[in-house]
Chain A
Amino acid sequence: MSEAATMEAVQPSTAEIPVLECRNLCISYFTRAGEIPAVVDFNMKLMPGEAQGIVGESGCGKSTVALAIMQYMGKNGRVVGGEILFEGRDMRTMSEEELRQIRGSKIAMVYQEPMASLNPAMTIGDQLAEVPIFHESVSKDEALSRAGKMLESVRLPDPERILSSYPHQISGGQQQRVVIAMALLSNPKLLLLDEPTTALDVTVEAGIVELIKDIAAEFGTSMIYISHNLGLILETCDRITVMYSGEAVEVGSIKDVFDAMRHPYTRGLFASIPVPGADKNSHPLVSIPGQLPLPHQRPPGCNFGPRCEFFVKDRCDVGSIPMVEISNGSHHASRCVRVDEIDWDSTIGAGDESEPTVPGDVVLKVDDMTKHYEIEKGALFFSGEKHTVKANEKLNFDAREAETVAIVGESGCGKSTFAKVLMGLETATDGSVALGNLDLAEMPVDRRGPETISKLQMVFQNPFDTLNPSHTVGGQIARVIRKFGAETDEKKVKARVMELLDIVKLPRDFAKRRPRQLSGGQKQRVGIARAFAGNPSVVIADEPVSALDVSVQAAVTELLMDIQRENRTTLLFISHDLSVVRYLADRIVVMYLGQIMEQGTTDEIFSPPYHPYTEALLSAVPIANTHVKKRKVLLTGEIPSPSNPPKGCPFSTRCPYMIAGTCDTIPPPMVEFSTGHRIACHLPREELAAMEPVIQIEKEPARVA
């Protein structure tokens, strides 16, 4: 209490004192292998009301910084140097009790996985009420009523019900709102957000991001927003710190860093993410060569040196590289010794342009394909009511030779079921899937010949799962070759394995390695080699790069495109990420709850008329470009469960244009706008056609010259 009073007294002067300041912060983990520096020489100054973004790839130390601020490092972590000043006091000198009083009341945190962050055995009300009870010593009733009010201000419907629920009874988006409410309950000075939306679907993410922005405005809370997504940082923050391999490499205002970046890594990062204006033929992505160094294998000098195109021997690889202020004097700094020499306006090493490929004949034709699952509730003598999950409902589309068709949708949209039917692990309930003139819909994989199987292959999502950890890389590729009968002679099999490794640009001696010796990107390359081993005509790629680091994503995407172009393979690219899809797809199929909402060429999908769901999806995707202006379309509610879909249009429960009495009872008609561009919607043609574009580019961004 007395502390709060003194706080009041010094209030006027706190405007100049930063809420948080990190000075030369160094954090290490101590493991069996010795000391591993996680964060080195980290500086940050956060003023009241300011929002600071920290961006970086996995292992760059961004989450470590957040936990260090909280003074919660686990058994192995320790701050080995520097200071963390919270309102001018060094947190490292505080006692456990002082820290406890600050945690949750002055500094609060929002975590990456809301489900795991909430106690499964306590009601949400109890968990929320603890904050006021222990920080402000209020009664339980008072605490609960405050919690209820806070739930309202994070826009959760029916707070009373949520207060008495357990975490698993509400959806992921709602859980994250609860965690945010918990963080805000004591009106903290500083809010730490550690990838708060990574585990959520795009349209749900958009709602949370909007909420976070409103909080900043409404409560005047200072924020540190940690993310790997530059687009999200752009939407939420004032300033940004780019981290690479344990170091901050560039710090500045959003505008400076996004439009006039002064570090080769930042530059490379931006060049490897697809933004409007980039497409696979005329503006291919440029990936950063090499891979992230492991923390105990960092190079001398600049950590980014080995991957940098401006690397100069004996300058970049000696000593420690200091952070230097950029001359324009707007607190913009870069950790690059050559910052004043590099011509930052030059176009980044040109990616190879290529002619657009001309699609051939239809290879794959999906006609009214339907997949229902029967779920029986309660087995063994209690024959419960049967329950139908409509995983796929009357899918219609086709794919041509050498064409890339993207299937876009959020969780529960039925894309993985579709892949399973296609691969023959499930059989369709109805309709047909024709590969050439062979109907695969009711042909499970064990009835398909090796010829058919090799025609249809798949690249999987999770690099850590795609290869069997018990067998060598070469052995796994060779098995596919033998299985498909492409080669039978052992020598030729071996030669083919080597050839495939060459194609995916991996060293030949990787054949003898086991998957655990490979990085995520390398595993994904092996996965691609495996898929292309039998010269397939159709390859399904299920989010092949979404689990990879941004700087590696571009290289793998480009590789996939190159091999496809060369072999004239049809690529079905399953993704939730519209920016990637816009970059590489020729045609797009938008799915929601097992049904196709809209399909057409990439241009048609990205410009009006839109299906209302496509419109919301486009608006939700964060884009890392300051020149892109987006029209806000916010969805309310959550994605319904596929086992209990709405009666009429599946999107009717969240659709801003919902026509009561029509959309919620009658399935929407398919409206054809041009050949191949079809929208399933009740809205009149004219209204759809009159929609305004969601994404507008103010002016041609300078760097995409």
Chain B
Amino acid sequence: MLKLIGRRLIQMVLIILVASLLLFVIFDTPQFKKRLAVQELGGFAVSALSEADYQEWLASRGLDVPFYQRYTDWMGNILTGDFGFSYEKNTEVGPLLASRLANTGILALCVFALMIPISLTLGVLSGMREGSPLDRSITFISVFTTSIPEIATAIILTVVLALGLGWLPAKSAMIQGFDVKQLVLPVMTLVIYDFGYVARMTRASMAEVMTSQYIRTAILKGIPYRRVVMKHALRNALIAPFTVIVLQLNWLLSGVVVVEVFFEYDGFGKLLLEAALFPDVEVVQACTLAAVVVAVTSQIISDVGYTFLNPRIRFS
């Protein structure tokens, strides 16, 4: 058990190292450096620049040293808490990223708090009696909602609830400070897109368990049906959804980009996109690294949780 966690931790560090290295290699090509110069000095200035001046500019930005050296420097800086400098926003990346991650964290927390109970309940109800009218309608609803991309959900919700009925603000920029009302539309969008997937996973898992031989044993043992479901089925059926839910964090980091951009919510995703379009390299690198760390951590939690929940693996 400990060995497994240890192995996964080492794998995680390896993955983060390789991923960050990849990031660095990508942003180290001559073309990319040129783009940076164009962004910073203006296209005209760059084309007028002599080769020597260009080299000087590179040196001033610290871009002339070989990438492995910069990579180790960068890693070292990050380990000491220095994430670099945002040229676009003219501020330290560390605090910027922290505040944006916190905003996204609030969003994610709300999404999970709503999505988990909804999807598990629907999934279990639906999987308990496979093929029943309830099952069919839940399945259809979940296929339907997952088929509408976040951008479309966001549009429909905005048009109906904000523009049409005027119940909620259309944008979530939170210029006048934190406002719960502004959180509703982004959270709803993400929940509507996400819950169907988890519900379907839960349903599949529950349906499989309900047709298993040990459930037959339990029923033919003369145990009341309620107890068969609560004690025998749920324990086994919820193992798979648990891992799916934790891994949803990874999905959420994807979904959050478009939702934050659409609703102008100042979170991690919007930061990443703005930095990428600018391009603000150090912000992109820091954001991506943060995303990878979150994703890998969620994978570990899901792996360890799976092992812990499943006695077949726990005791072997």
Contacts and interface: CB of A to CB of B under 8 A. Distances in A.
Determine whether A and B are in direct contact in the complex, meaning some CB atoms lie less than 8 angstroms apart. Answer: yes
Interface of A: 70, 72, 75, 100-105, 108-109, 111, 113, 116-122, 130-131, 134-135, 166, 168-169, 179, 182, 378, 380-382
Contacts of B315: 166, 168-169
B222 A104 contact: yes
Interface stretch (B66-74, B184-192, B210-218, B272-280): B210-218
Nearest to B234: A121
Given A116-B212, A121-B236, A168 B131 contact: no
Nearest to B309: A121
Given A116-B214, A130-B227, A134-B223, 20 more contacts: A70-B220, A75-B131, A100-B222, A103-B222, A104-B221, A108-B220, A108-B221, A109-B220, A113-B213, A117-B214, A119-B218, A119-B232, A120-B310, A120-B311, A121-B239, A121-B311, A134-B224, A169-B316, A380-B11, A381-B10
Contacts of A382: 3, 6-7
A120 B309 CA distance: 11
B222 A101 contact: yes
A119 B214 contact: yes
Contacts of B222: 100-105, 131, 134-135
A168 B315 CA distance: 9
Nearest to A71: B220
Contact of A166 (B11, B221, B239, B311): B311
A378 B239 CA distance: 24
Contacts of B219: 72, 103
Contact of B3 (A70, A113, A378): A378
B249 to A, nearest CB: 25
Contacts of B61: none
Contacts of A113: 213
Nearest to A165: B315
B225 to A, nearest CB: 8
A380 B10 CA distance: 9
Interface string B7-24: 100110000000000000
Nearest to B314: A166
B89 interface: no
Contacts of B239: 121
Interface in B1-53: 3, 6-7, 10-11
Contacts of A70: 220
Contacts of A109: 217, 220
B217 A111 contact: yes
Interface range on chain B (Cβ under 8 Å from partner) = 20 to 34
The 6 closest A-B pairs by CB, nearest first: A104-B222, A104-B221, A103-B222, A116-B213, A119-B214, A121-B235
Contact of B235 (A100, A111, A122, A130): A122
A560 B221 CA distance: 46
5 contacts: A108-B220, A111-B217, A118-B214, A122-B232, A131-B222
Contact of A104 (B10, B214, B223, B235): B223
Contacts of A168: 311-312, 315-316
A382 B219 CA distance: 45
Contacts of B213: 111, 113, 116-117
Contacts of A182: 217, 221
B311 A104 contact: no
B7 A380 contact: yes
B220 A121 contact: no
Contact of B236 (A120, A130, A378): A120
Interface string B272-316: 000000000000000000000000000000000000001110011
A378 B6 CA distance: 11
Nearest to A186: B222
A184 to B, nearest CB: 12
Nearest to A99: B222
A72 B3 CA distance: 44
A103 B221 contact: yes
A97 to B, nearest CB: 9
A101 B222 CA distance: 6
A195 to B, nearest CB: 13
A1 B310 CA distance: 38
A120 B312 contact: yes
A102 B221 CA distance: 9
Contacts of A100: 222-225
B216 A72 contact: yes
A378 B7 contact: yes
Interface string B250-286: 0000000000000000000000000000000000000
Contact of B220 (A72, A116, A135, A378): A72
B134 to A, nearest CB: 15
Contacts of B227: 130, 134
A120 B214 contact: yes
Contacts of A122: 231-232, 235
Most A C-beta atoms less than 10 A away, residue of B10, B131, B223: B223
Contacts of B235: 119, 121-122
B221 to A, nearest CB: 4
Contacts of A378: 3, 7
